[in-house]
Amino acid sequence: MEEVLVAIDVGTTKVCALIGEVTADGTLNIIGKGCKPSAGIKKGKVVNIDQTVQSIAGAVESAERASGYELRGAYVGVGGDHVQSQNSHGTVAVSGHHREVTREDIHRATEIARAVNIPSDREVLHVLPRGFTVDGQEGVKDPLGMSAIRLEVETHIVTGAATAVQNLSKCVQQAKVGIDEWVAGPLASAEAVLSDTEKELGVVVADLGAGTTDLCVFLDGSPLHTMVLPVGGNNVTNDVAIGLKTSLGEAEDLKVRFGTCDVRSVVPEELVPVEVIGESQGRTVQRAEVCSIIEARMRELFELIGAEIAHAGHGGMLPAGLVLTGGGAQLAGAAELGRQVLQMPVRVAAPSGVGGLTDGLLEPPYSAAIGLLLWGARQVSAGEPPRFESAPAFGLLGRLRDLIRGLFP
């Protein structure tokens, strides 16, 4: 049996809707995609309901048209600096005559850990078990069936501002799509770019978006610290625009075409054209001047990331270092500057683990969207199918797609 999954990533600059199929052997293939410029979103939060609904509906319609499916539910990413996390502990006595750990015991321990004091204005997005302790034996990943008297669990709880989540929920539902599950943006990106080995050793993933930077620290195979910085690629663009007295569009173009985080690699005599606001004729500036602005802002961003890693309490215990992804990670010299500032290994990663219609998608800007699909596929493999099942659309496209699928099983 094939399961159809849908992911919707609502970002500051784009809304991306992906449709994937999980085959009987667990392979995930993308069968439809739709990406539209984002409107009504600022730093990961909804600031205009109508504009956001139109952006989501446009991306969903494109994905439906490409796949021949009618979308009914989706795994939706949650971003914004309101996303926070904390760790909690739960302990229960193992029930049952044979003193063997059951799913009910695991559930009770997790619920006790979840009952931590969380403000009423926050909504729980995830309660993820980090590890179990069985009668004092630590490091147990799955205690099911083990003989025990006492079961302890360490959980990672991710929350978001209730109003921010409700506003995004309203936009998705007005676009006529149900919500299968909320997924925190940092966890989605990690799903697409991190290996199991990196998670075990200790690693931090940073998704450098336009408005925010999603961070998640992993240790011993599980998330330890999740949060979102309210700083992203747009801050670099803004500094370039202010420093050169040009428009935001021109500044973004300069950043993409000529920008690098390593000023030392730039030839001092190299000049680039700039359109100055209020002047009919443009002028030229040294490329090094543009890059010095970019390097300064990116250095500040890496310092913020370093401070957050230190806040998690494991600054010197992340052998796998930092994994950069997102659109901002494509800036030339980003990894080198990160290594210099943080004094740890840094690499730039693109999403993997999917097949099908991947043209243009296996790039850092789409890590969160593909990660949402991979998150859904993992839920399916664990026996938790999506709440809303998307179905083949009626009409010529749907019938044609069904015919082709019937000819090539």
CATH number for the domain that contains residue 200: 3.30.420.40
pTM > 0.85: yes
Question: Same domain for 199 and 139?
Answer: no
Is residue 133 in some structural domain? yes
Q: Decide if 201 is inside a domain.
A: yes
Q: Is residue 120 part of a domain?
A: yes
Task: Please indicate, yes or no, whether residues 205 and 342 belong to a single structural domain of this protein.
Answer: yes
So what's the pLDDT on residue 395? 44
Q: Are residues 343 and 226 in the same domain?
A: yes
**Chain CA centroid to CA 343, Å:** 24
The verdict on residue 42 lying in a domain is: no
The answer to whether residues 208 and 325 belong to one domain is yes
Q: Which of 348, 377, 397 is the endpoint of a domain?
A: 348
Per-residue pLDDT, averaged over 285-290, amounts to: 94
pLDDT reading at 319 higher than 90 = yes
Report if residue 140 sits inside a domain.
yes
Instruction: Tell me the β-bridge partners of 243.
Output: none
Q: Do residues 134 and 257 share a domain?
A: no
- Which of 294, 316, 348 is the last residue in one of the domains? 348
* 319 and 231 in a common domain: yes
Q: Determine, yes or no, domain membership for 298.
A: yes
Q: Give the mean pLDDT of the chain.
A: 91
Q: Count Cα atoms within 13 angstroms, Cβ side, for 337.
A: 27
Total structural domains in the chain? 2
Q: Would you say residue 19 lies in a domain?
A: no
Residue 99 is part of a domain; what is its CATH number? 3.30.1490.110
Statement to judge: residues 114 and 243 lie in one domain:
no
The reported pLDDT for the residue numbered 405 is 52
206 shares a domain with 103: no
Of 299, 322, 348, which one is at a domain's C-terminal end?
348
Examine the domain organization and report whether 259 and 125 are in the same domain: no
Q: Collapsing DSSP states into helix, strand and coil, what is residue 178?
A: strand
Q: Closest Cα to residue 230, out of 136, 304, 123?
A: 304
Do residue 267 and residue 153 come from a single domain?
A: no
Would 7 be classed as within a structural domain? no
Are 136 and 208 in the same domain?
A: no
* Residue 399 pLDDT class (50, 70, 90 cuts): very low
Residue 285 CA, distance from chain mean position: 36
CB-based burial, 49-88: b 16+ in 10 Å, e otherwise? eeebbbbbbbbbbbbbebbbbebbbbbbbbbbbbbbbebb
Sort residue 149 into left (φ over 0), alpha (ψ -120 to 50) or beta. alpha
**pLDDT-based confidence at 130, cuts 50/70/90?**
very high
pLDDT value, residue 116: 87
Q: Dump the DSSP string for 127-171.
A: EEEEEEEETTEEEES--TT-B-SEEEEEEEEEEEEHHHHHHHHHH
Structural domain that includes position 295: 195-348
Claim to verify: residue 226 and residue 291 sit in the same structural domain: yes
Encode pLDDT of 41-97 as tens digits.
999 899 999 999 999 999 999 999 999 999 999 999 999 999 999 999 999 999 877
